Amino acid sequence: MAVVEPGDDVHKSHSTVLIKEKHVPAMAKYWTRSEKHQWALGLFCGTAMLYAARTVMPMCVVTVSDEMDWDKTESGTVLSAFFWGYTMTQFLGGYLSDRVGGDVVLPIAACLWSLVTFWTPQFAYLSTDKHTSLYIVVLSRVFLGICQGVVMPAVTSIVCQFVLQNERSAYSGLVISGQYLGTLLTGSIGSLLMEHYGWQIPFYVIGMAGITWMLVVRYCLIDRHRKRYVTTGSASSASLPAKEHQSVPWITLFTKPAFWSLLIGHFCENNAFYILLSWLPTFFHENFPSAKGWVFNVVPWVVTIPSSVGSGWLADHMIKKGYNVTFVRKFMETIALCGTSVFLIFISYTTSYYGALFCMAMAVSCCGFHNSGILVNPQDIAPRHAGSVFGIMNMAGAIPGFVGVYVAGHILEATKSWSAVFNQTAGVCMIGWVVYIIFGTGKQIV
């Protein structure tokens, strides 16, 4: 309790306290240590379910295309269709999450994407005509993308609101590393299920797993969160101060080179990641037909989990030690883009299975450093609008999902050359690195 000395202006002190209290933002209350751990586990598992549902088709596409008589271009169309829908809802997801809360958006999206995943095999058999069946599967993939497009902006909005800035790199790295666990589960358990029971079973299992996760998080985590933070008025979007409801200053953002460098860098890194994510099983099936699917579908994603979590810890450690945030973001992105580029080029000169597996694993592992570079950068440059800015950034990053993945399939169909695919992907990575190194920043710009 403060002691008022003789001669102090009591009224002035009281007025100052009132003014300070008036301007204390409602969002100043962050998660407790226990809550951070609970949400980290919940969001980590959710990201895993997200990517398990996303990657089950790339894992099964060789078997499905043989049964459905799809060529490489048609397979590429199916794989890339997801990203058409994924691009549509990125900004919407960020905007809604900033306004009504990511904890509201997340369970609705999870329910929808899980149901679409579960029913995908049935969609494929709705018609006996090859082209009609192809169109139906493509549309289901587009809708899957629409449902999943809101998720990462929602997660970013949640983390930005309830986690301290000097802990966000490690926290985001941990949460986002769930994507590699999801891909790992699909590649291991999904591959075994497909080999023993047919390609339809992984869709059913992953769809049910997604529904289960949604129900657990909805009733065990989100309910408690909303009772504590929303009903008390400490974190409700409805109780935010007026400045929290200000519209995103897009005109200012679009005139900043740092914002554009964010979009371009994310575009280029995602181009590599999505091509590897979508075509990696096909590459090993064609070049090393005797290789076990569960091996090459597992190893690259196993080594990427430590790189994603470790890079987040390293980034936060460097910031706490006094390194400039801009330097830290560029350092992480250098490892991500340059490392991926180098190992993609090495793959072109590798003829052995183990050499190709090593290069592929290292290329995917380098992608994990992106999570502590550009991926958390929206929280640096626009902390009040992180969800919306992330949505725009991820919308740009989703474009190579349908353009890059489709073009890769077309190149393979036309040239039969995997080297051509990997070399052009490496070149795109280097363009993104140069742009971000020159124009990127870790300072707040809006």
Instruction: Find the range with the poorest average confidence among 212-226, 247-261, 263-277, 283-297.
Output: 283-297
Amino acid 246: pLDDT: 63
Segment 362-366 shows an average pLDDT of: 92
Lowest mean pLDDT among 5-9, 268-272, 361-365: 5-9
Q: For the beta carbon of residue 444, count every other beta carbon within 10 angstroms.
A: 12
Give the Cα separation of 411 and 407 in Å (integer).
6
Q: Give residues with Cβ within 8 angstroms of 297, minimum separation 6.
A: 59, 186, 187, 188, 190, 191, 280, 281
Question: Per-residue pLDDT tens for 314-349?
Answer: 998 998 898 999 999 999 999 999 999 999 999 888
pLDDT at position 234, please? 43
Tell how far CA 178 is from the center of its chain. 9
**pLDDT for the residue numbered 229:** 67
Report the C-alpha gap between 357 and 355 in whole angstroms: 5
Q: Return the pLDDT at 292.
A: 73
Q: What's the mean pLDDT in 264-271?
A: 94
Higher-pLDDT residue of 231, 84? 84
Q: How confident is the model at residue 214 (pLDDT cuts 50, 70, 90)?
A: very high
* Model confidence at 100: pLDDT above 80: yes
Cα 253 from Cα 445, distance rounded (Å)? 8
Q: Predicted confidence band at 215 (pLDDT cuts at 50, 70, 90)?
A: very high
Query: Residue 216 is encoded by which pair of tokens?
Result: 């657990």
Residues 6+ apart with CB under 8 A from 338: 366, 429, 430, 433
> What's the confidence (pLDDT) of residue 237?
40
**What is the residue-averaged pLDDT of the chain?**
84
Which is more confident, 387 or 62? 62
Residue of 365, 43, 373, 311 whose CA lies nearest to 180: 365
Write the pLDDT tens digit of every residue in 11-32.
444 444 333 333 334 444 788 8
* Residue 377: pLDDT over 70: yes
Q: What is the pLDDT of residue 127?
A: 86
Predicted local confidence at residue 312, as pLDDT = 87
| CB-based burial label for 28 (10 Å; 0-12, 13-18, 19+) | exposed
Other beta carbons less than 10 A from residue 77's beta carbon:
21
Q: Are 370 and 272 in contact (CB under 8 A)?
A: no
Which range, 57-71, 80-94, 138-152, is most confident?
Answer: 138-152
Give me the mean pLDDT over the 75-83 stretch: 85
User: 52, 182 in Cβ contact below 8 A?
Assistant: yes
pLDDT digits (tens, 9 = 90+) for 137-164: 999 999 999 999 999 888 888 888 888 8
For residue 247, the number of C-alpha atoms closer than 13 Å in the C-beta half-sphere is 4
The pLDDT score that the predictor gives to residue 388 is 81
pLDDT, mean of residues 179-198: 88
- Whether residue 344 contacts residue 284, with contact meaning beta carbons closer than 8 Å, is answered with no
Length of the chain: 446
Upper half-sphere CA count for residue 199 (Cβ side, 13 Å): 19
Q: Which alpha helices (H) appear in 218-324, and where do they start and end?
A: 223-229, 250-254, 257-287, 293-296, 299-320
- Of the listed ranges 56-65, 101-110, 409-418, the least confidently predicted one is 409-418
Between CA 90 and CA 84 the distance in angstroms is 11
**Cα distance between residue 141 and residue 278, in whole Å:** 13
| pLDDT range class, residue 172, cuts 50, 70, 90 | confident
Residues 6+ apart with CB under 8 A from 158: 39, 43, 97, 101, 102, 103, 106
How far is CA 57 from each of CA 23, 185, 215, 291, rounded to the nearest angstrom? 50, 13, 24, 19
Return the exposure string of 111-138: e unless at least 16 CB atoms fall within 10 Å of the residue's CB, then b. Answer: bbbbbbbbebbebbeeeeeeeebbebbb
